Chains A and B, each alone.
Chain A
Amino acid sequence: MMKWLEHIGEQIFSLITEMGRVITFLIQTLRWSVSRPFYVKNLLKQMEVIGVDSIPVVLTTALSTGMVLALQSYTGFKRFGAESLIGTVVSLSMTRELGPVLTGLMVAGRAGAAMAAELGTMKVTEQIDALETLATNPMKYLVVPRFLASTVMMFFLTILGMVIGISGGYFVGVKVLGTNPVTYINQSINNTEVKDIWFGLIKALVFGAVVGLIGSYKGFNTEGGAEGVGKATTGAVVVSCMLILILDYFLSALLW
């Protein structure tokens, strides 16, 4: 019994120290983000790797979600004659919730994993030490571009996800299930406020920062060769997905 409590205590202690380290890492990243030199070329490269290359997965996920959402809510709403509300359900869910969350999870799985793997490999092959010996700050050269690119690109990918998801919903609602297009559009527009879109996009910025931060942190703290790189990669995906889901709740509660 004592052993067991001790074990729990140790786990909680190490979780807290780890959180402390992540926060320190975040503060350093923010501090290095605003001082010279700026590695613009690295930033653009990361925007391409994280943003442009994530477009296909984000498109597929958002499209399928929007379509399924329309289909499922039709089945439900038809039972009490409220088919006209499909548009509202799809656009509210896509903007406030599913657009940012699904985009966040997809980018975490794709770009966050790649980031941890790349930086982890650089760590275990001493490339990060080499950068330092060449009088170049690795946080600035490697982490800042990834953090900023991930935050900014998540914003735009989420806009894309919202638009595609809503279009998918419209296609299923109107073309497949045959609800009235004018009502569908009116219902969507009247019940979705600009504020809903902004809430979704604020979430997107936070999720983007999470993916960039955790991917870089896990990469930079990789130890123990190829096996360590594997662990860092899985760790980055698991932790950023968990954080996205947890923060999603708190942001939803905070942003009305």
Chain B
Amino acid sequence: MSMIEVSDLHKSFGRQQVLRGVNLTVEQGESMTVIGGSGSGKSVLLKHIIGLLFPDKGTVVVDGLKLNGLDQHGLNEARKKFGMLFQMAALFDSLSVWENVGFSLKQHTKLSAKEIRAVATEKLALVGLKGIEDKMPAELSGGMKKRVGLARAIAINPAIILYDEPTTGLDPISADAINDLIIDLRKKLGVTSVAITHDMHSAYKISDRIAMLYKGQILEVGTPDQIRQTADPIVRQFITGSAVGPITAD
């Protein structure tokens, strides 16, 4: 059984149809990356997978559980399977680094503050950060924020990690460090991961398979090698980053 099964997913906002029948399956332990232009609906797709948005039509099944139709409690239980890294990290401004990382432990376990802090320190070490437990998010660089966001996402040992544009907005070196971290975490934790990005370098590096989202549907799915050798003119234009082709910039 697949870990994530998205079937015939439709979503509109007002008159704008964003997703028009997305089908995508992600296997247990797989690293799937969805590529697509800005505004193509990648984040919307990701938010359906974690139950932040719900389909107008179609289904999202995670680990055998259908997300639409769950009550608040069921949904919260389902969400504990996930960790999500947001595009701008989305750290809580009013909490220190270790309180951010330990947030779900504080909410959902009976651990003491001291124990939570110890876990936070351990998770921060996993993402290569040391000695910043008491800093506030505003004091961190963009790359550091993403690492802290990642430490927060893995705090309760999720089975699935979702990455919303993990390398966007970072300098090339920090971006590649995040790529290495994603690969490394997958090795260490054996998680299933879904990333969305328009950074092809990152997509080739971190993925087992890549799917291209275009006009609300998945146009092609394949291994990085298959995608590199695609016959589809639209996919080719996107991966080579050419302004000339069937896709036009708006």
**Which A residues lie at the B interface, using CB under 8 A?**
37, 121-122, 125-127, 129-137
Cβ B93 vs Cβ A133 within 8 A: no
Q: How far is the CA of A11 from the CA of B213 in the complex (A)?
A: 37
Contact with A along B87-107 (1 / 0, CB 8 A): 110111100000000011001
- Name the residue on B nearest A32 (C-beta): B72
A-chain residues with CB within 8 Å of residue B91 when the two chains form the complex: 127, 130
Cβ A135 vs Cβ B104 within 8 A: yes
Given A126-B86, A126-B87, A126-B88, A135 and B93 contact (CB-CB distance below 8 Å): no
B187 within 8 A of A: no
A-chain residues with CB within 8 Å of residue B50 when the two chains form the complex: 133
Cβ B90 vs Cβ A135 within 8 A: no
Interface segment, one of B74-82, B169-177, B197-205: B74-82
- Name the residue on A nearest B164 (C-beta): A126
Contact with A along B214-248 (1 / 0, CB 8 A): 00000000000000000000000000000000000
B108 within 8 A of A: yes
- Name the residue on B nearest A39 (C-beta): B107
Among all A-B residue pairs, the 9 with the closest Cβ atoms: A130-B90, A126-B90, A135-B76, A133-B84, A135-B79, A134-B104, A126-B86, A127-B90, A136-B107
Given A135-B76, A135-B79, A135-B80, A129 and B104 contact (CB-CB distance below 8 Å): no
**19 extra interchain contacts, Cβ-Cβ under 8 A, other than A127-B93, A134-B152?**
A37-B107, A121-B93, A125-B90, A126-B90, A127-B90, A129-B90, A130-B84, A130-B90, A130-B92, A131-B92, A133-B52, A133-B83, A134-B107, A135-B76, A135-B79, A136-B103, A136-B104, A136-B107, A137-B76
- Name the residue on A nearest B100 (C-beta): A130
Q: How far is the CA of A126 from the CA of B76 in the complex (A)?
A: 18
Cβ B88 vs Cβ A133 within 8 A: no
Q: How far is the CA of A131 from the CA of B76 in the complex (A)?
A: 11
Cβ B92 vs Cβ A127 within 8 A: yes
Cβ A125 vs Cβ B107 within 8 A: no
Chain A proximity of B198: nearest CB distance (Å): 18
B-chain residues with CB within 8 Å of residue A136 when the two chains form the complex: 103-104, 107
Q: How far is the CA of A122 from the CA of B137 in the complex (A)?
A: 13
B-chain residues with CB within 8 Å of residue A130 when the two chains form the complex: 84, 86, 90-92
Q: How far is the CA of A129 from the CA of B90 in the complex (A)?
A: 8
Between-chain CB contacts (< 8 Å), 24 pairs: A37-B107, A125-B88, A125-B90, A127-B90, A127-B92, A129-B47, A129-B52, A129-B86, A129-B90, A130-B86, A130-B91, A131-B92, A133-B50, A133-B82, A134-B103, A134-B104, A134-B152, A135-B76, A135-B79, A135-B107, A135-B108, A136-B103, A136-B104, A137-B72
B-chain residues with CB within 8 Å of residue A126 when the two chains form the complex: 86-88, 90
Q: How far is the CA of A113 from the CA of B113 in the complex (A)?
A: 33
B-chain residues with CB within 8 Å of residue A125 when the two chains form the complex: 88, 90
Q: How far is the CA of A131 from the CA of B95 in the complex (A)?
A: 13
Q: How far is the CA of A125 from the CA of B145 in the complex (A)?
A: 13
B-chain residues with CB within 8 Å of residue A121 when the two chains form the complex: 93
Q: How far is the CA of A125 from the CA of B90 in the complex (A)?
A: 6
Cβ B90 vs Cβ A132 within 8 A: no
Q: How far is the CA of A127 from the CA of B94 in the complex (A)?
A: 11
